[in-house]
Structure 1
Amino acid sequence: MKKILLLVCSAMLCTSLQAVDFETAKDAVKNMGVGWNLGNTLDANDATKTWTTTAQHETCWGQPVTKPELLKMMKEAGFGAIRVPITWYQEMDTNGKVNDAWMKRVKEVVDYVIDNGMYCIINVHHDTGADEGNYKSWLKASSSSYDKNKAKYEGLWKQIAEKFKDYDQKLLFEAYNEMLDEKNTWNEPADKTDGYKAINSYAKSFVTTVRATGGNNKNRNLVVNTYSASSTAEAMKQLELPEETGHIIFQLHSYPNWKSESNAKNEIDNLISNIKSNLLNRAPVIVGEYATFTTWPANLDYYATDRKVALYAMDYFIKKTKEEGIGTFYWMGLSDGVNRTLPAFHQADLAQTLIKAYYGSTDGYKYPTPDDFQTVYTVSYNSQWGELFLYGDWNSSATLKLTEYKGVRIELDNDYSSKLQIKVYGDKDGKNTDGSDKFKEQYIPLTAGSNTSTLDFDATTLGSTVLRITLQALEGTALTAKVNDAKLIKTDGSEVSGAISVGWGCSVTSESSPKPTAIQRIHANQSVTDNTIYNLHGQRMQNPQKGIYIRNGKKYVMK
């Protein structure tokens, strides 16, 4: 009789009737497959600003407004789950009520994920984290913070839970992100007794509040994180299971220090061993953030500097986590910045590595790249010597070897030979007066009388490598130009695409359409307007000291 009722009921009624049949947390983790984080988007924030539109909030760290096409691309590439980090503090009034427009926008993005048949995790993100400047996160892993903010925290989760109570088992809630103590201590709290007690109190409040809203929330699978999302054995061990229902998932984060393939294997084996001993024996587990890059003790992206190690490690990591029933969510890369507006993968081989490691093949999946699109970039310079990146960025440690690359070709909409030039950064060449690294530089004029310039690198001037290439303004007045194409030329004469992004003193918009096609679809995005540095709470930093920061949509550490 029950089966007949489920067939004839309305969509809303079916959702409620099936609440008792929600899959277990263990099955949910298994059914998610490979996950990805929609990072630096709804979690972006800037404590110095008041938003008048949700788009201003969503794009303040340089990512474009999210479109459903992006999530469709992730589904077609084989990804089964999307973690959507969300920061709430700037969208709450003094009574803790969330702005209707922000809640509506969150729902829109959740629906993009759910409508594509993927699992979705939403959370409370940069309301936690390290304090910087005049900003202090309002959720701290301390008893005093918990007592002070318990009502506000539970009130926030009540609003979220009520909004999404009728969603089915594909939607999961995550209690908090990387919550630190009052001293901003990473990995383990300074006062372990008090810090771990607070984390468990927040986790219990979260679960109790969500369950009390009823509907599908009675059996919804919920996620609670270790202290600071730490992967230390002690942090795992101290996280308590807030209820014995089979609908709780533990989460932690892990960023690499691989150095070599053998080192990567050992690091991954140790991580999984600790997870099995301290968490997986009590509840299913997801690694909610991991990547090929690390920010400590130095900013290093193995994908850029040692791709062989990076792809080996990602292949091994996914295979081993799948073997143990551990879920994974890659942090933010794969498709980043302007690539999300196309949409396309800028790290297609990495995305393919993750999917192949999990499913054994990429057959039937799609991985569009920027080369599948015709993109025109409009760059507006507002400062003399302003620079547009054609390759690299301020944080990149990857280099082009001049034994493999010989030059650059750029196609503009007009002849700008008296207004723009190419600037190439080569080998390190000592230190500047402020202590920063100094580099050998080559300045190359554009070809006069033409909108296309093919320019050669000078190894005598640059040394053996190229770190970054920019299109630099010569004039002090405002100038706007369109970049139709930018290619790196290899020594064998073949060409590979550059990667256009803002350096400083300019802004960029883009128009893209798939190629070849008879009907062009136009996508536009507004990039960040300069190389502004933000702390993890979105504050603009003029003179950053030690800590973790955001620049051009990426995390990095300043020692």
Structure 2
Amino acid sequence: MKSRIFKKSNNLKLIIIGVSALFVFLSSCGQSNETPTIKDPIPVQDLQPDLPTATVDSSMHGIGEARDITSFELVAEMGVGWNLGNSFDVVSKDKTDWGNPLPNKAIIDAVSEMGFKTLRIPVTWEWNQSAIAPYQIELNYLERIKKIIDYGLENQMHVIIDLHHDNEWAKPIPSLAVNVNKRLHSLWTQVATYFKEYNESLIFEVMNEPRIKNIPQEWTGGTLEGRNIINDYLKTSVDAIRATGGNNAKRHLMIPTWAASTSPDAMNGLVIPNNDPKIIISLHSYFPYLFALEGQGTWGSAQDKADLRAEFDKIRQKWIVEEKRPVILGEWATKKTIAVKNRIEYAAFYAKEATARDLLTILWDDGGDYQLFNRNTLTWTSVEQAETIIKNAVK
């Protein structure tokens, strides 16, 4: 995705990450798990913008009373997914700024017809939400997002919406934390209220890759202070959603680690808000980094496969086995610069091995560097790769 170009693409950053990973490992041995959390109450009376509820067709799939099922049961139903990347998540009012056409029904229909069962819609709110209390979200923006959700539901898909590139205001640093909590509380109260009539087929992912940008630990698990502030942001968001009642009392929610990282510091530092039973762990695993995200070299040796299996085993052991929480790998991909044959081989192995470990995969497709579906021509960059993912993501 466009943001991935400027956030993860230079050699200097790789050097910094390697050094910082060693530092984090050495320093974490003596870390305490106790850090202060943000305890200022949210002044609800100051955060009450207009709270419209979407008008819906009660006969449509995804509308009506939510079933009281477990998150494991929901994830088992969902099926392999596809990301509508670089659309609603564009950091501009103009959602075509990163080269894709505006999302439309033809795009979602084509993705569904290929066999993808879950639609993830990354959403950046900053350009369509007031930065001051009561942090009103533009109604027409909610309406635009609703249309795409409905196209997914009409295709019998599960749909995920998130808070994506809102990193400039939602930074996990102490000086901003009180105001960030207020804005998150208002944002998710508005979103949850608007989509209250949607049942468990709609999932809220309360943050995407929360982190402090451009610090040495940005992609290696962050800082203890930052991780604890993120935990507080997650709790604020979950509490706001649950407080709206109705289907939102039973809605399944996704929460990420620091930067959605699979590093030990990030995964061990995540605290489940209120030990909520309907929480799904959201992780991103572009693995191995140099091949999958940077498009360097080739992949497929016995060691390459063993390393990727070990990555999946680590995730499964931590969350599914030990913590009894389902996992969604909300982003994975390979660059278009990689030979198509190698992309297909990697995709087949990734989808098969993740699925074998009950890890639901959602392919990142930005319509650009990581394109699999060309939204301008409504054609697949590689039909064989898409079909390979679908085939291998079924047990």
TM score, norm. by length of structure 2: 0.76
Q: Distance in 2 between matches of 1:228 and 1:338?
A: 26
Contact 1:123 1:173 in 2 (8 A): yes
Which amino acid is 2:87 matched to?
A: T
Q: Which residue of 1 aligns with 2:218?
A: 186
How far is 1:183 from its partner? 5.2
State the SS of the aligned residue for 2:254.
strand
How far is 1:15 from its partner? 8.0
State the SS of the aligned residue for 1:287.
strand
Which structure dedicates a bigger proportion of its chain to strand? 1
Change (3 A) 1:337 1:286: closer
Q: Give unpaired runs (5+ residues) of structure 2.
A: 1-56, 292-297
Deviation track 1:211-269 (CA, whole Å, cap 9, x = no partner) reads 00011000000000010111212211211122334311001111133543124312321
Q: Which residue of 2 aligns with 1:67?
A: 104
RMSD between aligned residues: 2.5
Q: Distance in 1 between matches of 2:367 and 2:126?
A: 28
Q: Distance in 2 between matches of 1:198 and 1:109?
A: 32
How far is 1:334 from its partner? 7.6
Which amino acid is 1:284 matched to?
A: P
Does residue 125 in structure 1 map to residue 164 in structure 2?
Answer: yes
Match 1:264 to one of 304, 308, 324 = 304
Q: Distance in 2 between matches of 1:189 and 1:323?
A: 26
Contact 2:100 2:376 in 1 (8 A): no
Q: How does 1:30-109 map to 2 (within 5 A)?
A: 30-46=76-92, 51=93, 57-93=94-130, 94-95=132-133, 96-109=135-148
Q: Distance in 2 between matches of 1:88 and 1:99?
A: 9
Deviation track 1:337-370 (CA, whole Å, cap 9, x = no partner) reads 993144221121110110111238xxxxxxxxxx
Does residue 238 in structure 1 map to residue 269 in structure 2?
Answer: yes
Q: Which residue of 2 aligns with 1:352?
A: 387
Change (3 A) 1:334 1:265: farther
Does residue 202 in structure 1 map to residue 202 in structure 2?
Answer: no
How far is 1:333 from its partner? 5.3
Which amino acid is 1:113 matched to?
A: G
151-160 or 192-201: which moved more? 192-201
Which amino acid is 1:290 matched to?
A: W
How far is 1:144 from its partner? 3.1
State the SS of the aligned residue for 2:69.
coil
Q: Which residue of 2 aligns with 1:321?
A: 354
Which amino acid is 2:305 matched to?
A: K
Contact 1:169 1:220 in 2 (8 A): yes
Which structure dedicates a bigger proportion of its chain to helix? 2
342-351 or 326-335: which moved more? 326-335
Q: Distance in 2 between matches of 1:239 and 1:17?
A: 32
TM score, norm. by length of structure 1: 0.54
- Larger C-alpha radius of gyration, 1 or 2? 1
Contact 1:141 1:198 in 2 (8 A): yes
Match 1:276 to one of 313, 316, 319 = 316
Q: Distance in 1 between matches of 2:169 and 2:204?
A: 20
Q: Which residue of 1 aligns with 2:374?
A: 339
Change (3 A) 1:91 1:356: same
Which amino acid is 2:378 matched to?
A: P
Q: Which residue of 2 aligns with 1:289?
A: 331
Contact 2:62 2:201 in 1 (8 A): no
Q: Which residue of 1 aligns with 2:151?
A: 112
Q: Distance in 2 between matches of 1:338 and 1:29?
A: 24
Q: Which residue of 2 aligns with 1:507?
A: none
Point out which structure has higher relative CO (alpha carbons under 8 A, 6+ apart).
2
Change (3 A) 1:310 1:119: same
How far is 1:24 from its partner? 1.6
What is the identity percentage for the equivalent residue pairs of Structure 1 and Structure 2? 30
Change (3 A) 1:354 1:334: farther
Does residue 211 in structure 1 map to residue 242 in structure 2?
Answer: yes
Q: How does 1:514-529 map to 2 (within 5 A)?
A: none
Match 1:150 to one of 181, 187, 191 = 181
Which amino acid is 1:234 matched to?
A: D
Change (3 A) 1:183 1:138: same
Q: Distance in 2 between matches of 1:343 and 1:13?
A: 25
Match 1:171 to one of 202, 218, 243 = 202
Q: Which residue of 2 aligns with 1:18?
A: 65
Contact 1:63 1:337 in 2 (8 A): no
